[in-house]
Amino acid sequence: MGGAVFPTHMKLKINQSQPINNLVINAAECEPFITCDDMLMRERADEIIQGALIAQTILDAKECVVGIENNKIEAYEALKKAAQKTTIEIKVVPTVYPSGDAKRLIYLLMGIEVPKEKRSVDLGIQVFNVATVAAIYRYLELGEPSISRVVTITGAVKAPQNYEVLFGTPLSELIAAAGGSSNKTKKFIMGGPMMGFDLPSIHVPVTKAMNCVIESSPELFPAPKPVMPCIRCARCADACPVNLQPQELYWFSKSSQLEKARDYNLFDCIECGCCTYVCPSNIPLVQFYRYAKSEIIAQDKSKEAANTARERNDFRLARIEREKKERAERNAQKALGANEKQADDEKKSTIAAAMERVKQTQQENIKN
Amino acid sequence: MDNRSPYIVDAPSVSVIMFKVLLALIPGIALYVYAYGLGVILNIFLASLTVILTESAILAIRKLPIKVFILDGSGLVAAWLLALSIPSIAPWWIIVLGTLLCITFGKHVYGGLGYNLFNPAMLGYAILLISFPLIMSQWQIPNSLIENNIEWFDQIKIIMNSSLLSKETIDAMSSATPLDYIKTQLTLSQSLSVIQQNKIFGFLGGKGLELISLGYLAGGLYLLKEKIISWHLPVSFLASLFIIASIFYSIAPDTYASPLFHVMSGGSILCAFFIITDPVSGPTTPKGKIYFGIAIGLLVFIIRIFGGYPEGIAFAVLIMNIFVPLIDSLTQPRIFGHK
């Protein structure tokens, strides 16, 4: 039930070659507006801790640590209390977006940087969201399958609140429960204001990934201000949690120098939105990176398709060539065979003629 | 699906940043007026007027929104810096011509805000220095050194119509800068301790000039506090200038001025906090900023001591501007999770 909605049963499978040593429970919930995990921790800290213990047992992990931001005091107290008699450690991390990103959280808690193009499991670290471990507990202890989650509904709705919602519930029902929409735009955002996206309609079901729904309004999220040229102030570079140079990536993405963008590690961008948040020129930087990434992926795909097509064509040409050769060989062999037969016949007839002659002479000799 | 997140932003606009830079210049300007009179204010006024008119015309030709790009304030910053760099009693057309060239060839020829390769103010200054070397080296003597203070009105008269005044009057109220004076006197085989007994030298740098530098320093610290500039550039530049000056000073104190003198005279402080910190024409990586600052510090010293001009900031900055793309590409910081 974390951001990426990676299937839990896969994450709980034990990989013989890389045992899990550390289990990290992500309780950071770093985006503003979202409070569903916070509420879950306050009200069901026991379930979370029990679920974490179950996951730890399944994974045979030596240590289990919960990372929570320092602005969730009540939740921290609740977890602390629930974890009293266990070996689970509750660690506080600073409230700095995007500390809820798994790789960032691992770094904050353990000082380990997950290397490029690797996942934390490769280092023996598994990360679960608090809501996930709570669901594990409910399934294994109470036999209740994962059929609901806590959803934050907030923004311009009349009564912003956290609800426990069954999966598949129409969003419109949830909005009605929260007092209904209070403005005319009727625009809803799924996720937080930093990384969320506009929902196409309110007639969509609540899913496992839907941790938060925000009703947008011009007061909350004003229309973006007119874009000015980049003045290279590098505020974005200071803000970037991955240490990228967003101003360079912007330049390369804008001018479609996609290879350059790739060289400047575009694919290390986690699209957290910090660069856009601090840009004095109001440049929608993340959107440029999304565009550049999708362009590169599309190009790679078409390149791959072209390569496959070329390989196939090469193979086909080679096959035709080979068949031609084989046919030619067969023909040559056939021709050779025919010649040999002819030669044989000639030989035989000569021998026969000679025998005839010998016979005749012999007979003549006998007659004489 | 429309994905335009993040939906929230929290950043000062370009205008706010630029106007804070102008605000940070005020203490220096106030001390300038205190030491030299109102001439500098007239120069700043003329520069501002020129930049607004020139930019409006260029923006109109380029079919860009005039109000937006005038209000971004970047043109005014360049104009003020140029006005503060030239002698305060230079005739009016010097600053007008300088600003015109600075904004046209320093900024808009490259595509306007955000696209210029060179620091516009320094480009304008370099053009003026090469074209009008005499005018550009006639600096006013601080008020405190003249028996009969020049009336404010006189100063304005000089700027607006220098031909009205006799050459003697101008000579009486102007002189070479301390950096210039040291340079010429050293060629006459004077020792530095004798040279520095001249009345134009103050306790740190040149009399009056050092006071203005302190004003710029205060403004610079304000910019650091407001996070408009980062510490990398001013610290690396001033440290490198100070260290190289110390080395020469320790070898031959009678030929080379003290490191403190180098830091406090000429435009060193203005350069450290306001000129090399121009984001557009400078490097963006933290390491790159340090290299850039060090290189400019060394170049400034080399030009001051061995070059043909008494002050080398403009040339040092322009030379290093050329290397910015290279510096940036060679100083990329380590990405999270990379070795």
Q: Is the pLDDT of residue B205 over 70?
A: no
Does residue B38 sit in the same domain as residue B88?
A: yes
How close does chain A come to B1, measured CA to CA in Å? 7
Closest residue in chain A to residue B116, using alpha carbons only:
A231
- Domains of chain A with CATH codes: 8-146 (3.40.50.11540), 147-223 (3.10.20.600), 224-368 (no CATH)
Mean pLDDT of B129-154: 74
List chain B residues with CB under 8 Å of A216: 7
Instruction: State whether B6 and A242 contact (CB < 8 Å).
Output: no
Is the distance from CB of B128 to CB of B12 less than 8 angstroms?
A: no
Question: Is B208 contained in some domain?
Answer: yes
Residue B208: its pLDDT value, please?
75
CA distance A154 to A178: 8
Q: Is A206 left (phi over 0), alpha (psi -120 to 50) or beta?
A: beta
Instruction: State whether A228 and B280 contact (CB < 8 Å).
Output: no
B172: pLDDT confidence band, cut at 50, 70 and 90? low
Question: Is B126 contained in some domain?
Answer: yes
Does residue B317 sit in the same domain as residue B294?
A: yes
Mean pLDDT (chain A, rounded): 90
Question: Is B171 contained in some domain?
Answer: yes
Give me the helices (H) in B10-116, please.
14-36, 39-61, 66-71, 74-85, 92-105
Instruction: State whether B10 and A278 contact (CB < 8 Å).
Output: yes
Q: Is the pLDDT of residue B1 over 60?
A: no
Does residue B171 sit in the same domain as residue B210?
A: no
Closest residue in chain A to residue B333, using alpha carbons only:
A243
Does residue B169 sit in the same domain as residue B189?
A: no
Mean pLDDT of A199-205: 91
Per DSSP, the three-state class of B106 is: coil
Residue B265: closest CA among B319, B312, B330, B329: B312
CA distance A127 to B20: 45
Under an 8 Å CB criterion, which residues of B touch A?
1-14, 16-17, 68, 72, 74, 111-115, 230, 279-280, 282, 284-285, 328, 332-339
Does residue B262 sit in the same domain as residue B297?
A: yes
A258-313 pLDDT, tens digit per residue, is 999 999 999 999 999 999 999 999 999 999 999 999 999 999 999 999 999 999 99
Does residue B196 sit in the same domain as residue B135?
A: no
CA distance A39 to A131: 10
Question: Is B78 contained in some domain?
Answer: yes
Contacts of B80 by beta carbon, 8 Å cutoff, 6+ apart: B22, B25, B44, B47, B48
pTM to 2 decimals? Answer: 0.85
A116 touches chain B (CB under 8 A): yes
End position of a domain, from candidates B175, B209, B237: B175
Does residue B161 sit in the same domain as residue B185?
A: no
Residue B9: closest CA among A101, A275, A290, A219: A275
Instruction: State whether B11 and A195 contact (CB < 8 Å).
Output: no
List chain B residues with CB under 8 Å of A265: 335, 338
**How many residues are recorded in chain B?**
339
Angle in degrees, CA B291, B295, B300, rounded to 5: 150
Q: Is A232 left (phi over 0), alpha (psi -120 to 50) or beta?
A: left
Does residue B48 sit in the same domain as residue B171?
A: yes
A276 touches chain B (CB under 8 A): yes
Residue A357: its pLDDT value, please?
84
Domain count, chain B: 2
Does residue B18 sit in the same domain as residue B166?
A: yes
List chain A residues with CB under 8 Å of B285: 234, 237, 245
Domain boundaries, position B208:
178-331
A344 C-beta neighbours (distance < 10 Å), count: 10
Nearest to A247 among B11, B115, B284 (CB): B284
DSSP A170: B
Q: Is the pLDDT of residue B233 over 90?
A: yes
Is the distance from CB of B292 to CB of B319 less than 8 angstroms?
A: no
End position of a domain, from candidates B139, B156, B175: B175
End position of a domain, from candidates B118, B148, B175: B175
Question: Is B314 contained in some domain?
Answer: yes
Does residue B18 sit in the same domain as residue B165?
A: yes
Mean pLDDT of A108-121: 90
Per DSSP, the three-state class of A165 is: strand
B162: pLDDT confidence band, cut at 50, 70 and 90? low
Instruction: State whether A241 and B336 contact (CB < 8 Å).
Output: yes
Q: Is the pLDDT of residue A62 over 50?
A: yes
Is the distance from CB of B311 to CB of B304 less than 8 angstroms?
A: yes
Contacts of A130 by beta carbon, 8 Å cutoff, 6+ apart: A25, A26, A27, A37, A40, A41, A48, A66
Question: Is B1 contained in some domain?
Answer: no
B158: pLDDT confidence band, cut at 50, 70 and 90? confident
Does residue B82 sit in the same domain as residue B150?
A: yes
> What is the rounded end-to-end Cα distance, in angstroms, of chain A?
119
Question: Is B5 contained in some domain?
Answer: no
Question: Is B4 contained in some domain?
Answer: no
Sheet strand arrangement including A63-69? A89-93, A63-69, A22-27, A125-129
Nearest to A113 among B284, B332, B337 (CB): B337
Does residue B204 sit in the same domain as residue B151?
A: no
Is the distance from CB of A135 to CB of A1 less than 8 angstroms?
A: yes
Residue A2: its pLDDT value, please?
63
